[in-house]
Amino acid sequence: MQQSVILHMLDEEQIIGEVDALPNTADQFMILSHPRRRDGIRLDYLQEGVTAVLIPWHRIQFVEFLPEADIENVIGFVRE
């Protein structure tokens, strides 16, 4: 089962995505599926159609694991 997360990156905006499992302490990368900005828009620096990225731990400040019910509230404030 995939878990929704918010990655707080060093000197960058936050990224929302899903992970398949909790990261292991020996991992050097975090595998993030369906990466997007907090407002749900795709990341400008990724190619069209990218479904997963490997993000090295030294670029991540901390990770928030979200309950499934809260993911709607995170990306529900899009400005028109």
Could you give the domains of the chain? 3-74 (2.30.30.100)
Interval 4-32: pLDDT, tens: 999 999 999 999 999 998 888 899 999 99
Q: Which helix (H) or strand (E) holds 36?
A: strand 29-37
* Spatial CB neighbours of 77, under 8 Å, sequence gap ≥ 6: 39
In the numeric block, which tokens belong to residue 32?
Answer: 């993030």
CA-nearest of 1, 7, 12 to 55 is 7
Interval 23-73: pLDDT, tens: 888 999 999 999 999 888 989 999 999 999 999 999 999 999 988 755 555
Split at pLDDT 50, 70, 90, the class of 76 is: low
Q: Which helix (H) or strand (E) holds 74?
A: helix 71-74
